[in-house]
Structure 1
Amino acid sequence: MTFLEHLNQSDEARMIHDTAARWAGGVADEAVRASKGFSADRWAEMAEMGWLGILAGEDQGGLGMGAAEAAILAGAMGTAKLPEPFIASAVVCAGALTRLPGGAADALLADIAAGQTIAAPAGFGLPCDDSAPCPTATDDGDGLVVSGEVALCEAGPATGVFLLRTGGAETSLVRLDRDAPGLSVIPYRAVDGRHLARLVLTQVPVPAGAILARGPAAETALAHAEALAVAALCADAMGTMDRALALTAAYLNEREQFGRKLASFQALRHLIADMMVEVEFARSMADLAAFGADGIEDPVALLDRARARVCRAAKVVGETSIQLHGGMGMTDEMAIGHYFRRLNFLQAMLGQEAGALRRRAQALAAEVAS
């Protein structure tokens, strides 16, 4: 498939887009705030519509679709600023599992698609930072013993399973249940209110049946999951920016100063135009990221460029939106402040513009040196 073919959505993708837009538009801002980081009812609705199985195959009860369709749903999450771990569980974890053979991976994938299990990636995917150390695994008969720490994991009280990347003699991808002996889950909250956790592993035993992949098989699955993570996070940021831009434009058309609508001031209209330009530049790169996650064998370079451009737009849109709202924009009662905080969180997950550019520069330097 070419990129132009990717942009020409299928009938199924258009249906998902329309359904997601209607559903996200019907989620009240008050309901999001009242849910305090997670709504079991919204999660059940996503499962009923098949969204939690967007990447899972039909044999696992999923829709068997790809990164483009997952990105559509991620964008809807951003539009409604939903705190549920859709990307973490239904995209990153499910994406890794789709590249793994075996009954254990298929069973977990089916549980995720049905909404029966919420999984969290640990040590990969979120945040997109391959420089962070991962817990170390040592052989213990047929199984492993894992020790170490994962500083950031998108996990809340409803998270039941962790997909953990381990280092050591070789890379492994293992399943850890929340109540695994030796595993401590220390909760905290993100700036946008979603649930996060720090994992501390002290001699955690991993039986052979919980080792999903080792060596090259694990690395292939992890690379695919991280590509999907970038594409979905970029799409989430696009949905968030679109809504922030709409709220800001509406505010300028409603608010008056010196007897005139704020939208009548040319300088403010120019700022809105600058935001629109940034958003459209970023949208093109977000579309490329979704295409690259499935359509390119080695999409790392493209994904780094997408991360940089989307982070730049998120910074401009977030900061300008707050500026145009004035002091009211930072109050908890104004929705724009919550979108601003979400954009800050998404930039951190994507590694910030500077982080993406630094990683690309390091890759280019290594190519030149070789």
Structure 2
Amino acid sequence: MISSPAVQATVDHGALAHNVRLLVQASAPAQVIAVLKANAYGHGAVPVARTVLAAGAAQLGVATLAEAFELRAGGIDAPIIAWLHAYDPDEAVEVFAEAVELGVELGVSTSAQLRAVAEAALRADRPAVVAVKVDTGLNRGGFARADWDKAFADLANAEAAGAVQVRAVFSHLANADRPEYHTNAEQARGLREAVALAREAGLDPKLVHLANSPAVLTRPKALVDGLPVFNATRPGVAVYGLSPISGRDFGLIPAMTLTARVGLVKRIEAGDGVSYGHDFVAHASTTLALLPIGYADGLSRALAGKFEVVIRGKRYPGVGRVCMDQVMVDLGPGVPAVGEGDIATLFGPGKDGEQTVDDWAKAAGTINYEIVTQIRGRVKLAHINA
């Protein structure tokens, strides 16, 4: 068994716990639903679930039921909501029935989903716990405003028949990373309207949630005014220590550090090209180090020539194209203090001079969310301070 991985993403659970405690404090008196979709943003859903619950999260949120089932299989018995469903009609009933039996709260966004959930509840012989998603302006998932009256009437009938228990009404912000933007207040008003309609229909949702990471950390007045009506928040990326607003420091600690072991060290001469296409040509003799990580592992080709690594306390630039499973680093013209097996840090919290996820996102022209969720392939996840 290989005990020393070539490429490793180390997840610091001390950082996760710190971030959750900060989000719990910022959300109070609302409870926190920690979002663990996409394998906890690449950090490992089951171990992360244990830590965030111990740190004060009241519930977990995922996109798909497959993600919810993975958490249940991993021994997580806390409340879980899953809200993104795409099944054919026959499959939907079967999958929803499994969710009902496992006590997973089902986000419902369409009338067809509601019918399938009601049938699934009959098959499972117990009510389905439901969260109603309403579209308040993102124009993505959720019941359209024109359908709210009928949706709540249908839900009330299903609840009266013992098929569902409506636990929550929720929506999602379009511009939470711009706290001053007018649509935040408009969407908050829209969700209040939806909750009022639900109650007029005879429903009594216990939870109402709208705020994601940027909304929790910036606390737009529209959302503060909603408390305790909005009595839950739904942070995602901030759980993992990444700022949801570029350039803003909220006191979060990045939880993931990406490292790779040096595979070989070799000398090249002036005029030698490196890797496919010889995009990099040495101007003078220099020494290169090979790292066994590439775009199949989440190191984007867009980062070619734009990233640096830290080896033995010193920064070195990546050179040449990012290949599928390897990349080269320029160690410079002198005698290198780097050898095979040394550990190169590609990104981390930044405390030891290494680049951060935000540095990579800026260089690649993307967002920090994408960087961590793209770490995959042969990268081994390791957990510390759990």
Band of TM-score, shorter chain: under 0.3
Structure ranking higher in helix proportion: 1
Structure ranking higher in strand proportion: 2
TM-score, normalised with respect to structure 2: 0.25
TM-score, normalised with respect to structure 1: 0.26
